[in-house]
Every structure is written in structure tokens, then in C-alpha cells.
Amino acid sequence: MRKVAVMLMVLVVLLAAGSAGAQSVGWSAWLYNPQNGLMTQVSESGDTLDQFALPLAAGTDMYPNKVAVAPSGDVIAYVPYNSSSFQGTLLITRRDQIIGSLILPNSYIDSLQFAANETVFSADSTLLAYGYALSDGGWMLHVIDIASGQTIFVLPHDEPLVAVLGLSGGVDVTPVPRHVSWERVSFNLMSIEAQSLPSFQAYDWNLLDNTLNANPVYASLDADVLLSTGEIVMTLFDERLPNQNSAFPFFQTNSLQIYDPISGGRFPFYNTQDAQLAMPRFIQNGERILVDSVDVNQRFGWRVLERDGRLVGTLPTAVTLTAARGVPDGFVYTTQTFIPDTTTLMAVNTRAGLDAGSPIWTSGLGEIVELVWAGSTLPVAQIALPPWTQLAPPVFAPGRGGAVAPAPNQPLLVNPADAGGGAVLVTPVLGALTPGGLATINTTEGDTLNMRLGPGLNFDIVARLRDGERVTVVEGPRSAEGFTWWKLRTAAGIEGWAVESVQEDGTRLQTLLPG
């Protein structure tokens, strides 16, 4: 009892110090309580910004263990169920208002039990992809328009295009969405047996022409996405790199790999021979990676890495994370070990150093809550991120290939043909804007470049592109209203038109730079 009392006193002092030192709200986090469906939004300074109970569907009385929050932070997807019949209903809500629902048939398992995070939504939070296994065999994959709450595309296991690839339709096979856009849905087919495999096969369902193709990129569910670039970091076993695979149960995830959506390639940038890696997370505005590790002697440690694979350091061994999310200056995490029988939200500023962090918020006694989302509440300056190191040749998505694109204004540490494994600087060659090529957004004084639905100032704005952001040129040029327009595609898959240059203070500013 004395130890608990002392810990409580320490927490009160730390919370007071944290509140006193807070300058502005730069990020917020959503926490979910599976016991009562309570969603709590907490600010950077520990204030409760919002709190409400998720609604239950008719005929349901139990909340699920997981919920998925859209990239925008204001749309939630979850499946409450009936505790007697286990009948479930997919609900899509905006705050505590239901905006869409899908009554499930008798199903074995659903995709949110495998992956409940931003990746089941499109980057613009307008679409949701959801899959489930039928109890008598077979599976279904739905794409739901969030604005209307209606299913607009369905892919069943017995569709002819599925049969061509010979995909399994077993009792426990579930499609798990990995990337969602208005053009395609990428997904894994998961089963109980598949969970013991070192990698998974993924598929691209093209919504425009209703075709299905194998995609080797999304090979792991243990992954995180950087929404500003569309990059995905994942853990995988890579037999090309040093490992002790035989010393670990099932297999060893000995590498961290990055998928670059600009090039369409996935490659390893970090390797450890003597440890198993898990739970990778983009932190510090995408500049660094946090990853858990455990060696054959069951020694655990959280590592912080640079994008070039260098180890920054490790967190104190006493740190126990149940979930972590990146924020602009580091990351936040939840732990149940700070005060017994509660959940504490901690914040770590990795720009200042590596430590256990500061307590931001603590639940009530007996409340075990989940960290389900964290995001910026103020605009974050888009910086030129450092390049990745490539340790082995990349695997490419269908129809993609060639050199891996460097970060804006940065060389790429890559040489796949180098037998010695060393990194060689390869400088990008800049040329003219051309369809199929790359472009870098160039603005001044923190301005953004409007991307519109069509080539003209009267078209709606679909995105605002930040200085230094890398995009793919899809189509153009077009002349309209005194401007030259190009159709662009962002790393998140959003497409629209933007001007090539503008007049600024009597001079011409090139807003789209080739390469």
C-alpha cells in the first residue's frame, strides 16, 4: 500500500508539472474503453477534449475489443455484437451518431479483429473497407461510402475473378484490408494457419475495372503507415539478411522493411541478427521508427531508429508499452504498469532524448483502455525527410519497377547490385514535368498548393499540398484561366489538378519542380 501511495503522489506532481509547462495543443489522442464503449479524446496537455459512449446497434449488447478511427480522427468503425447469439453489426459513426451500418450474416471472424486502424479507411476518410469470414465457409469484402453509409462495392469469395487466382474460401479465411482508395483495395487473406507464416500474400482489387492481381508488397500485418507520405513500415523475415531464425518459435522477424508508394517498391532498411522485431511505429513526424525487440533469452527492449537504419538508442528497460502512436515531436503510449489497475497515457519527446516520458492522463481504477488514434491538431510543417538505407533489392507492386525514389532534395542510399552490401549515393536526375514522372511541391512561407478536382479555379479543392511533398504526375499539361495545370497523384492516392507556377511579388514562382 505504501508503494502505491508513493507512486500516486509522484504521478500527481508529474501531472501538475506537465500541465504547467504546456504551451499549446499540438496533438490529441483517442482512447477507447471496451467495457463501456467510452471514447475519450485527450489533449497534449492532458485535458479531456471530448468524451462520449459509442452507440450500440439494435439487438447488440456487447462492445468489441477494437475500434478503428479514420485518419481525420472523427469517424469510427466497430462491430458490437449480441453476447448470446454472437450476431454482429458493423457500425460507422461520427462521434456518437450512426452514419452507416451493415448487419452481418453468421460470420466466423471479421477483419477488424486482425487490423483496426487508419489503414482500413481511405486517406481522405471517405471510404471504409471491411471483410469477414462466413461461418459455413467463404468470405466477403465490402467497400462502404462513408458519406452515404452504403456499400458501393462487394467482392465475394465465389466471384469468377477470385476463382481465377485460386484463392482459398475456407471457413476461417478473412480478407483484411491494407490500403483503400477510390481506385483499388489491397488486402491479405488471413486464417488461423496463416498467422504462423513468416509472410502473407496480398492482392489488389481494382475497383475501376473489377480485376484482381497478386501484390507481394503487403506481406505483413505488423505494420504502420505514415499518412503524410503513404510510406508503410513493417516487420518481416528476410532470409537474405543475417538471422538466427532456427532459434525462435515459428520464425524470426529479423528486418524492418519500408514500402515507398512513389516507386512501388518494398525493401529492408534495418536488420538485427539476434532479435525478433515487432510493433514498428513511425514517430517524430515520420523522421524516426520505434520498434519492439526480444532476443532468444527473452530480453525485451524498445529501439528508436533513424531512417538510414542507425540505432538512436533504446528506451529504459522498465518501460512497458501496450500501444504506441507517433506525434510530431515523438510518440505517445499507454501502459498499465505505472499505477496498478489503471491505464496511463505517456508522452515521449524524442527530440529532447530517450526516456520513459511524462504521464499525460490516467484512467479510473479498474479501467483498461486502448490507445486507438493520435494526430496533430495544428498544421505540421512538411520537412524533407531523410532517405532510407536499402539493404537488399526491392520487391515491387504490380506494374511498378525501377529505381526507388529518393526523398525530396535528398540522395538515396541504395545500390541493389552492390555485392558488398555497402550504400552508395545515387543523385536523382531532374528534368521536365512529364506524365509518369515525379514532381516536388515548391511553396514559400509555409503556403500550401491547392489541388483541385479539375484544371480550373472553379473546381473544388480536394487536397492542399505542402512544400517539399513528392507527387506523381498523371496527366497534362492543360491551359486554363492563364495557368498551366498538371494532374497529380499524392502518395496517399488522392488525385487532382494543380498549377505549374504562380506570380508572387512580381516574379514567377515554379510551384511544381520536376523530380
β-bridge mates for residue 472, sequence order: 438, 489
What contacts 24+ positions apart, CB below 8 Å, involve 238-247? 238/268, 238/271, 238/392, 240/268, 240/392, 241/268, 241/271, 241/273, 241/391, 241/392, 242/271, 242/273, 243/273, 244/273, 244/274, 244/296, 247/296
436 occurs within a structural domain: yes
- Output phi, psi for 381, to 5 deg: -60, 130
83 occurs within a structural domain: yes
Domain end: 201, 221, 241, which one?
A: 221
Q: Tens digit of pLDDT for each residue in 53-78? A: 999 999 999 999 999 999 999 999 99
In this prediction, residues 376-401 reach a mean pLDDT of: 78
Cα–Cα distance measured from residue 439 to residue 124, given in angstroms and rounded to the nearest whole number: 21
Cα dihedral across residues 326, 328, 329, 335: positive or negative: negative
CATH of the domain at 505: 2.30.30.40
Confidence of residue 429 (pLDDT cuts 50, 70, 90): very low
Q: How many domains does the chain have?
A: 2
Cα dihedral across residues 461, 485, 442, 308: positive or negative: positive
344 occurs within a structural domain: no
In this prediction, residues 211-226 reach a mean pLDDT of: 93
Strand ranges (E), 79-126? 89-94, 97-103, 107-110
Taking 90 as the threshold, does the pLDDT of residue 461 lie above it? no
Confidence of residue 407 (pLDDT cuts 50, 70, 90): very low
pLDDT at 2: 34
Cα–Cα distance measured from residue 44 to residue 19, given in angstroms and rounded to the nearest whole number: 9
Q: Which residue has the cell 521508427?
A: 289
pLDDT at 362: 96
Cα–Cα distance measured from residue 105 to residue 34, given in angstroms and rounded to the nearest whole number: 23
Domain end: 196, 221, 246, which one?
A: 221
pLDDT at 71: 93
481 occurs within a structural domain: yes
- Output phi, psi for 41, to 5 deg: -100, 125
Cα dihedral across residues 311, 316, 320, 322: positive or negative: negative
In this prediction, residues 401-421 reach a mean pLDDT of: 38
* Closest C-alpha among 360, 357, 332 to residue 19: 360
Lowest-pLDDT range of 13-22, 36-45, 124-133, 260-269: 13-22
Alpha-carbon separation of residue 52 from 32, 37, 38, 93, 374 (angstroms): 10, 8, 6, 12, 17
Q: How many CA atoms lie within 13 A of 496 on its CB side?
A: 21
**What mean pLDDT, rounded, does the chain reach?**
84
pLDDT at 408: 38
| Domain with 471 in it | 429-514
In this prediction, residues 191-215 reach a mean pLDDT of: 85
Domain end: 221, 241, 264, which one?
A: 221
Confidence of residue 156 (pLDDT cuts 50, 70, 90): very high
pLDDT at 502: 85
* Closest C-alpha among 136, 130, 178 to residue 150: 130
pLDDT at 400: 62
255 occurs within a structural domain: no
Q: What is the pTM of this model?
A: 0.75
Cα angle 20, 304, 375 (rounded to 5 degrees) comes to: 50
Q: How many CA atoms lie within 13 A of 181 on its CB side?
A: 16
